[in-house]
Amino acid sequence: MQQPISSIIYCRTLIGSHSPNHYPFKLLKEYNIVTDKKSLKEFREFRQRMNQKIYDSGHLGIKRFFTLDTKAYAEGAIPVPMKELMGLVASMVLRCDDCISYHIVQGVIEGVSDEQFWEAFNIALVVGGSIVIPHLRRAVDTLEECRVLEEENPDELKLQSGNNPYSDH
């Protein structure tokens, strides 16, 4: 299995400056944040563990939201694979890597073709703009990982879906 991809993100905290001798903003701090892309297995295990803790909290509103989310992606007038592609595009535009991974896994399980994924990636890029590009890179990596699992170990891929009512993204 391949190692997680690491990337460095530079974050700057800026404040306004009212002095005529300074730029409109001055740098307060610069942080180096290293992020690691989790393997699909790590992603699933973390999601399931945290979702169980969330469920165990007993909060009715949160349980209702999870149920609403699950039902939104159930079969209806729009086929499930299309709903997963819609969720993928929205997740890419909103820049939610966990959600992107979730919808790619679900899409692969539901039979979404690579051509369909690439069209969805293109729509996300057009709607979201260049800020989507880093998420597109991770999405392509996740799709490749799913395709390898689909070929080598389809049962492991199905495990990634976490088919239970509290495995929402």
Distance of alpha carbon 93 from alpha carbon 121, whole angstroms: 10
Q: Residue 137 has what pLDDT? A: 96
- pTM score, whole prediction: 0.73
Distance of alpha carbon 40 from alpha carbon 163, whole angstroms: 15
Partnered with residue 29 across adjacent β-strands are 13
In the block, tokens 């690691």 appear at 36
Q: Residue 162 has what pLDDT? A: 62
- Could you give all domains of the chain from N- to C-terminal order, each with its CATH number? 38-160 (1.20.1290.10)
Distance of alpha carbon 105 from alpha carbon 123, whole angstroms: 19
Q: Using alpha carbons, select from 159, 150, 164 the residue that is nearest to residue 44.
A: 159
In the block, tokens 């306004």 appear at 16
Q: Residue 36 has what pLDDT? A: 53
First to last CA, the chain: 24
Alpha helices in 110-132 (DSSP H): 114-128
Partnered with residue 24 across adjacent β-strands are none
Q: Residue 160 has what pLDDT? A: 74
Each residue's pLDDT tens digit in the chain (169 positions)?
444 443 333 333 333 444 444 444 333 333 333 345 678 888 888 988 999 999 999 999 999 999 999 999 999 999 999 999 999 999 999 999 999 999 999 999 999 999 999 999 999 999 999 999 999 999 999 999 999 999 998 888 888 776 544 445 5
Q: Residue 147 has what pLDDT? A: 96
Q: For residue 132, which amino acid is it?
A: V
Q: Using alpha carbons, select from 75, 87, 64 the residue that is nearest to residue 139.
A: 87
Distance of alpha carbon 57 from alpha carbon 48, whole angstroms: 14
